[in-house]
Structure 1
Amino acid sequence: MDGKWQTSLRERISYGLSDGADNLVFQVMTTYLLYFYTDIYGLSAAEVGMLFLIARFADVIESVLIGVMIDHTHSKYGHSRPFFLWYAVPYVTVAILTFVVPPFNHTGKLVWAYGTYLLLGFFYSTVNLPITSILPSLTDNSREITLLGVIRQFFGQTSQIIVAIFTLPLIAFFGGNDQQRGFLITIIVFAAISLILILNTFVHVRERIPMPPATSFKKTFDMILHNKPWLTLSAVIFLYWVTTSMKNQTTIYYFKYNLNKENLVPVVNAFTAAALIGIIAIPFVTRKFSNKATMMSGLSIAVSGQLLIIAGSELWPNLTLIFIGTFINTVGSGMVIALVSVMISDTIKYAQRQFKVEASGLMASTDDFGVNLGLGLGGMISAALLAKTGYVANQSQNQATLHMITLNYAWLPLVAYILMMLILSLYDQKTVHAVTNDN
């Protein structure tokens, strides 16, 4: 339904900054935590892989639990909005503790890593899941929802760019030759900014569209099993973040060990800024094409870029090809991620109108679930492959390890993108549009 726009400019910006706030901290973890654990903290790749695996099982429970918590929260601030207030401080505090290297023996350090990493996953969900669940209650204007989703991803991607470009230079600036100290001070800076921005979102957003009372869990579970658009989109989101994690976490290994050009990591990471092109294009492209068609186009562009990365890393080794491929791939990825929260909002409305079920918190958890499970599984796969081939931190790697790094950096993401396209083809855009726009 289109009509009068209901959010102010300040509210739209504040809403978008919430994702930027979360990503300032979370992207450091998803991009550099595997490297931090193996090369600085002192864990083996196998130990990190097991940690990531166990954390993923915890995320399955956490995402559902927090979604149900949102659905059953009744406060003067609304259902989703108070979570920004309640959990901002715990989130940034645990993020800082995750990058502390305690003066314990190896077993003690392993326990510390488990405790902080598992808590970080939980508290990330408490401040990130509400960003998606609150969207349908901010406005009932479909074009406005799309704009809000784009603004969210714009700021989220901007934070990813900041992390990608500035993290290693900041670590060097604050720590010099002491990367341990550099990591800790850098995460403290990012966490402080994140806290301010999350609280800013709480202050300025408003839940103005009343949501029906939460439906029983039994009826909700039955709806989920029959909500094919939601199931399809959930699978795509999950695969997207698996792929993102594998690529992000392997980049530093590929440039450090395969190319012996660790100094170029901030340079190649700078190409993540290209995602903003894809994100900004969304409001214009979706005026002529459906959300599904637009996302499919984004995946096609991502595949094209990934093929160039393969060419530059395997077929005709060439840094220029890798950089161009990264740029093109990231433009396509930006188009995909910009539509995620918008299409989840569509499936929430679809559930409300087609099945008469209100479970916005639980259904929004697919985004958070996909992020946590996908990123964690991608990290686990990367760590497991390194361990399997005999990776040794800060040493020259054997050929099997170098080959596995290239496989993880270039080939496996291509397979995942193609699989995403096949799954997305099952998304019934016409039915979703007809139901959600039926007044």
Structure 2
Amino acid sequence: MQNSNKLSVFEKVGFGAGDMAVNVMIAAMFYFMQYFYTDIFGLKPAHVGTLFLAARFVDAFSDPLMGLLTDKFKSRYGRFRPYFLYLSIPYGFAVFLLFTTPDFSYNAKLVWAYVTYLFATLMFTGVAIPYISYIGVLTNDPQERLSANGYRMFFAKIANVVIVASVPVLAQLWGDGSSAKGYQLAMGFMSLVGVGLLMLCFFTTRERVEHVVDRKPLREQFQLLVKNDQWLVLAGACMLGTIGYALRGGVAFYYAIYYLGGNEALAAQFTSAGIAASIVSMVASTWITKRFCKIKLFSWSQMLVGVISVLMFFAVSPGDIALAFVLYILLSFVVDLHAPVFWSAIAEAVDYGHTKTGKRVSGLAFGGISFCQKAGSGIAGFLTGLLLTYFNYQAGETQSEFTLTGIALMLTVIPGLFHFLLGLLMKKYIITDDYYHQLKRGDATQATDEIEGPALNPSAT
């Protein structure tokens, strides 16, 4: 084990490569999986939404089990790192199958979608749970964690931009007139890149902090976890933020094609412009948090997202492409200012729970956050399917004014409401950098006072 908690730039880049790989699947699911299923594979929006929700029930079991698995087994490569190597190829194959569309009857297509989507979900769990837990063993320095997560989120957004901007274009070039074949080949290529990135993460990083294994029974771990009020705040924040993020991302293609009157190429440009703004946001967030309270930034940025969302709904008319781009870029910049803060906060909340209860719950804490993220995504997918059905969306046809208004609401006001609620919730989060340093120093008397005091009085921070 290395004693230094400082990470080299090379290792931070390798750590970020892992999130690039994870985001091969995330980008597909968040930005054009819904559109692919309805407009290319020919599934009904409500059926697609039900599929997304059903997959989250699988996650309710697979995510905690994966967290427990990382606690139980340790190889010569560590507890988390081996999965980046061993599951890289199955993960890539799952992405390829996700965009394979056999010419079956409708019911058989639906079965195929369930089988391949659930398989992809399980492979994602096998890679993502170890990955989000990995920051806790890379270093225990909160500033280094924040920096590493800045790299991670930056590379994740790069992956999103590349995939969203290039896949529709590659699909058109490689499809020979068949969108289904084009998307299969384009995402097959991206899956190969994802496999390589996971292996890069494996070979360039290492576990330098000893992971404290949760030997307690699962029931006791759950009981301890729900006593950790700060983890509960993060779990709720993850759920609300993911619903808003995934709902907006899932309808972006529909918005650009039908509301703005564009095509898939414009939809790719529109969506990737927002992701590019998020990349700049990652850099800005790292700079701002060196000078301003990271928790206040988290809270106020999300409430501002709600305001900008309402402004965009009323300001942008159908076909108003230029203004839509400007406001969507602004919205995307503000919404991701919180991201590096959130992912570094999970490990700190675990340490907080250890101080509060005297017992540590780590694997289940990270697995629980991943489940909240997936549950939020599933709820968003389900809502998207129901709302598209309610607003009478017809795939590939000219949409009514009622449908266009609904699509605009789904991109702006509805997800903006979830972000605004997230901002309000984060006012109950108390673990600032100063507070966390105090916990790490082991100042038991003052820490106990703050746990029992400010935790009940959010205005104290």
TM-score range, shorter chain: over 0.9
2:316 is paired with a residue whose SS is: helix
Question: What residue number does 1:437 align with?
Answer: 440
Deviation of the 1:195 alpha carbon: 0.1
- Identity fraction in percent: 25
Question: What residue number does 1:284 align with?
Answer: 287
Deviation of the 1:236 alpha carbon: 0.9
| Alignment-mate amino acid for residue 281 of structure 1 | A
Deviation of the 1:265 alpha carbon: 1.3
Question: What residue number does 2:230 align with?
Answer: 229
Residues 304-346 of structure 1 show CA distances to partners (whole Å, capped at 9, x for unaligned) of: 43234223335x9743332221121111122122222101111
Q: Distance in 2 between matches of 1:358 and 1:207?
A: 19
1:385 is paired with a residue whose SS is: helix
Q: Distance in 2 between matches of 1:414 and 1:30?
A: 16
Question: What residue number does 1:323 align with?
Answer: 325
Deviation of the 1:150 alpha carbon: 0.6
1:428 is paired with a residue whose SS is: coil
Residues 31-77 of structure 1 show CA distances to partners (whole Å, capped at 9, x for unaligned) of: 11111111111211121121112112112222111111112222222
Q: Distance in 2 between matches of 1:432 and 1:86?
A: 39
Question: What residue number does 1:348 align with?
Answer: 350
Q: Distance in 2 between matches of 1:283 and 1:258?
A: 35
Q: Is the 8 A contact 1:95 1:187 kept in 2?
A: yes
Q: Is the 8 A contact 2:150 2:286 kept in 1?
A: yes
Question: What residue number does 2:249 align with?
Answer: 248
Deviation of the 1:406 alpha carbon: 1.6
Match of 2:421 among 419, 427, 433: 419
Deviation of the 1:274 alpha carbon: 1.0
| Alignment-mate amino acid for residue 257 of structure 2 | K
Deviation of the 1:434 alpha carbon: 5.7
Q: Is the 8 A contact 1:66 1:126 kept in 2?
A: yes
Alignment of structure 1 residues 165-176 onto 2, 5 Å: 165-176=165-176
Structure 2 runs not aligned, ≥5 long = 443-461
Deviation of the 1:419 alpha carbon: 0.6
Question: What residue number does 1:63 align with?
Answer: 63
2:412 is paired with a residue whose SS is: helix
Question: What residue number does 2:200 align with?
Answer: 200
Question: What residue number does 1:219 align with?
Answer: 220
Q: Distance in 2 between matches of 1:382 and 1:388?
A: 10
Question: What residue number does 2:150 align with?
Answer: 150
Question: What residue number does 1:134 align with?
Answer: 134
Q: Is the 8 A contact 2:35 2:250 kept in 1?
A: yes
1:103 matches 2:106:
no
| Alignment-mate amino acid for residue 247 of structure 2 | M
| Alignment-mate amino acid for residue 232 of structure 1 | V
1:437 is paired with a residue whose SS is: helix
Q: Distance in 1 between matches of 2:103 and 2:269?
A: 34
Deviation of the 1:432 alpha carbon: 5.2
Q: Distance in 2 between matches of 1:406 and 1:103?
A: 33
1:406 is paired with a residue whose SS is: helix
Question: What residue number does 1:259 align with?
Answer: 260
| Alignment-mate amino acid for residue 267 of structure 1 | Q
Question: What residue number does 1:114 align with?
Answer: 114
Query: How many equivalent pairs are there?
Result: 436
Alignment of structure 1 residues 76-87 onto 2, 5 Å: 76-87=76-87
Q: Is the 8 A contact 1:346 1:436 kept in 2?
A: no
Moved over 4 A (4+): none
2:252 is paired with a residue whose SS is: helix
2:441 is paired with a residue whose SS is: coil
Instruction: After superposing the two structures, state which structure 1 stretch, 179-188 or 423-432, moved more.
Output: 423-432
Q: Distance in 2 between matches of 1:378 and 1:93?
A: 25
CA change 1:380–1:404 in 2 (3 A) is same
Question: What residue number does 2:16 align with?
Answer: 16
1:299 matches 2:302:
yes
Q: Distance in 1 between matches of 2:47 and 2:357?
A: 44
Q: Is the 8 A contact 2:348 2:431 kept in 1?
A: no
Alignment of structure 1 residues 387-426 onto 2, 5 Å: 387-426=389-428
Q: Distance in 2 between matches of 1:120 and 1:286?
A: 36
Q: Distance in 2 between matches of 1:371 and 1:162?
A: 22
Question: What residue number does 2:386 align with?
Answer: 384
Q: Is the 8 A contact 1:129 1:365 kept in 2?
A: yes
Question: What residue number does 1:271 align with?
Answer: 274
Q: Distance in 1 between matches of 2:350 and 2:413?
A: 35
| Alignment-mate amino acid for residue 438 of structure 1 | R
2:394 is paired with a residue whose SS is: coil
Question: What residue number does 2:7 align with?
Answer: 7
Residues 199-241 of structure 1 show CA distances to partners (whole Å, capped at 9, x for unaligned) of: 1111221111112231312332121111111110111111111
Deviation of the 1:403 alpha carbon: 2.5
Question: What residue number does 1:32 align with?
Answer: 32
Q: Is the 8 A contact 1:214 1:358 kept in 2?
A: yes
Deviation of the 1:280 alpha carbon: 0.9
CA change 1:111–1:65 in 2 (3 A) is same
Deviation of the 1:402 alpha carbon: 2.3
Q: Distance in 1 between matches of 2:435 and 2:107?
A: 51
Q: Is the 8 A contact 2:63 2:371 kept in 1?
A: yes
1:102 is paired with a residue whose SS is: coil
Q: Distance in 2 between matches of 1:432 and 1:62?
A: 34
| Alignment-mate amino acid for residue 274 of structure 2 | F
Deviation of the 1:186 alpha carbon: 0.7
1:429 is paired with a residue whose SS is: coil
| Alignment-mate amino acid for residue 154 of structure 1 | F
Instruction: After superposing the two structures, state which structure 1 stretch, 6-15 or 194-203, moved more.
Output: 6-15
Deviation of the 1:301 alpha carbon: 4.3
Q: Is the 8 A contact 1:302 1:331 kept in 2?
A: no
Deviation of the 1:429 alpha carbon: 2.6
1:394 is paired with a residue whose SS is: coil
| Alignment-mate amino acid for residue 253 of structure 2 | I
Match of 2:339 among 327, 337, 340: 337
Q: Is the 8 A contact 1:219 1:357 kept in 2?
A: no
Q: Distance in 2 between matches of 1:353 and 1:363?
A: 15
Q: Distance in 1 between matches of 2:169 and 2:403?
A: 27
Q: Is the 8 A contact 2:300 2:423 kept in 1?
A: no
Q: Distance in 1 between matches of 2:215 and 2:331?
A: 41
Structure 1 runs not aligned, ≥5 long = none
